Amino acid sequence: MKLENKVAIIAGGTKGIGLGIALEFVREGATVVVGGTTDKNGDAAVREIEAAGGDGLFVNCDVSNLGDLDRIIERTVEHFGRLDIYVANAGINDAAKTHYLYITPEQYDRIMDVNLKGMFFGGQKAAQQMIAQGDGGVIINMSSVNAYLALDSQFVYTVSKGGIQQLTKVQAVALAPYNIKVNAMAPGPIETDLMRRVGSDKQLMDTILSRTPIGRIGTPQECGRLAVFLASDDSDFIFGQSIYIDGGRGFQAYPTPGYSTVTEEDYERLLEL
């Protein structure tokens, strides 16, 4: 198993992509700590991890709170003795879709505090623990295809994801001397709660998939398998990169009429996610 005897924290790991990563880590032998802000989701995630044969722990953690970031690392080390992998997956979006001209400082701070500040200091605190252990480690940041695409309806979210890609490069340079490998994942449309909200608009989903060459949305399990690769020795010469897992969404310039459309079956499945 590729992650045998490794201990991983997944901030934002109680559902969606984060839980998909947690379950794939467990299948590869890792012990997993999942962070999130809802106890009900955290308890359910631990049950899934245990059902998959793994050892899991939930810690209530708001990544915009630096004390919570300290606590999740402290609890991890208390329970499992070390930290080898830190996945910074926690993120939020602005459902209001406010135009740039009307975004308030409060809206900006709310998203940036979670998406960028939380990732900045979560990675810092994880790295400090890894350095203290003396064995190196892995940090994986969660960016997005929207770090590359200019999506003005989700302005602050998009800016935060672009910042994550630069953060990843600088972290990789700063932490390479300590044998800490840093990379980012940049998903496109994936089966998550956010995509469920998008999927409630069939016309919008048709538009998204008409610009996705593979013609479907991805799964949390597929993201999990990429995370396993980035966390394992298989990727040891990959540093500071943002790996797109988007079905080609990031580079198709124009729609493909009649090729990528949402079937009624797909639409119903999205509503049930």
DSSP structure string for 186-201: EE-SBSSHHHHHHHTS
* Predicted pLDDT of residue 191: 84
Tokens of 29: 């032998």
- The superfamily CATH assigns to domain 7-191+218-253 is NAD(P)-binding Rossmann-like Domain (3.40.50.720)
Tokens of 19: 């839980």
Beta sheet of 56-60, edge-to-edge order: 56-60, 31-36, 7-11, 85-88, 137-142, 180-187, 242-245
d(CA 144, CA 162): 8
Residues with a catalytic annotation lie at 157
CA angle 198, 200, 206 (to 5 degrees): 70
Ranges in the chain, pLDDT < 70: 194-201, 248, 250-273
d(CA 68, CA 52): 27
pTM beyond 0.85: the answer is: yes
Q: What's the mean per-residue pLDDT of the chain? A: 89
d(CA 86, CA 241): 16
| 241, 165 contact by CB (below 8 A) | no
d(CA 17, CA 225): 11
Integer-rounded Cα Rg, in Å, for the chain is: 18
| 237, 176 contact by CB (below 8 A) | no
* Predicted pLDDT of residue 25: 98
CA angle 254, 215, 145 (to 5 degrees): 65
